[in-house]
Structure 1
Amino acid sequence: MMRRISARDSDALHSIAEFHGDIPFRIGCRMLADPIEAEDIAQEALLRLWRYADRWVEGGPGIAAWLSRVAMNLCLDRLRKTRRNSDEDVPELADGAPLADAAIESDEVKQAVIDCIQSLPDRQRASIILTYYEQLSNGRAADSLKMNIKAFESMLYRARSALKGCVEGKNVVSADVERIHP
């Protein structure tokens, strides 16, 4: 497929977009909590795939992993840019759509988890999203964030602890919290 895309076969790109286009969109939704911004992230990730297809190296981690990495980097860049451009406190984000994992059953727990994930530092939020929502292995998630595995696992541990403490602080039933913090 990547050979076809590098030869500027738009049907091949369309096939990739159909099959993998939801990956950067999901990452964008969870990182930015804004489906419109997430759509921009997804389009930019696919545009980069088209633009840089001639640089593709076969035998690498694959298109899905590449799109995950690009989407995560685009989200982190967008978050950094937003912080640089604003002196104001970040307003509370309204949840426009359910973004929490389907296994979290109650609306109260869903909202608490969403709020708490959004309150994590960017890279900790990224570690939670890549590991639990995108279901990447720790090795792949570490690669996506350009970290070694030990540093990633340490950051993931801190993120889970912070997430658990935040959700417990919202007085959510402890059995529900245990599902978030295995």
Structure 2
Amino acid sequence: MSEAHAQQPGKAESGVSDDALLVLFTNGDARAAAALTERLGPRAFGVAMRVLGNRAAAEDITQEAMMRLWRMAPDWQPGQAKVSTWLYRVVMNLCIDLKRRQRGGHVDLDAIPDPPDPGRSAPEQLQDTARHDALQQALMLLPERQRQAVVLRHIEDLTNPEISGIMEISVEAVESLTARGKRALAKILANRRDELGYSDV
């Protein structure tokens, strides 16, 4: 039983920093890689999904970003930056590159929503799905830089200085982008407040 417990990724490593896990991975610890993937992979995917609105593309970008993280690991200097911030920057750059290649092409807005929570009632599940879809469609209507800033600030809960480092713009520019993006989202969703069950949008 203790052996099975030891092989569970993320158990012993749950209190270990991203920096330390990256160093452990560089030294050949496969469990560290599994723990870091479990910790950062879903967040990287969430950002890519919100920015692109396309599940398949978001999965590809997440995979590529994680591969770049592993390739960069031997050169990582702990303390110089947060691993998650570095990864977010890579994800954003990959998203921007993909959008440039697709410029003028078709962008799929019909991304498959996350599976609903089975513990919630059918009406609640439908409303959650409607909210998810409405937010995603509204995000896709924002200018690209506003969308990126809003996703990082209001969905990923990053600080303005962190977003400044990821997007390589000033903190003031981040504040401006997020404020304008939030106002635009509220305007886009205003006529759907009752339908989506929002009382404070």
TM > 0.5 between the two?
Answer: yes
Alpha-carbon distance between aligned partners in 1 of 2:199 and 2:177, rounded to the nearest angstrom: 19
The answer to whether the 8 A contact 2:54-2:110 is kept is no
- 1:126 and 2:148 are equivalent in the alignment: yes
TM-score, normalisation: structure 1: 0.80
- 1:38 and 2:38 are equivalent in the alignment: no
The answer to whether the 8 A contact 2:113-2:129 is kept is no
Tell me the residue number matched to 1:156.
178
- 1:56 and 2:76 are equivalent in the alignment: yes
Cα shift at 1:40: 1.0
Cα shift at 1:142: 1.7
Superposed, 1:1-182 pairs within 5 Å as 1-83=21-103, 86=104, 90=106, 93-98=109-114, 108-168=130-190, 171-173=191-193, 176=198, 178-179=200-201
Q: Deviation string for 1:5-25 (max 9, x for gaps)?
A: 334544432221122211111
Alignment RMSD, CA only? Answer: 2.5
The answer to whether the 8 A contact 1:23-1:67 is kept is no
Give the match's secondary structure for 1:21: helix
Alpha-carbon distance between aligned partners in 2 of 1:23 and 1:37, rounded to the nearest angstrom: 15
Structure 2 unpaired stretches of 5+:
1-20, 116-123
How many pairs are equivalent? 169
Cα shift at 1:66: 1.9
The answer to whether the 8 A contact 1:117-1:125 is kept is yes
The answer to whether the 8 A contact 2:54-2:107 is kept is no
Structure 1 unpaired stretches of 5+:
none
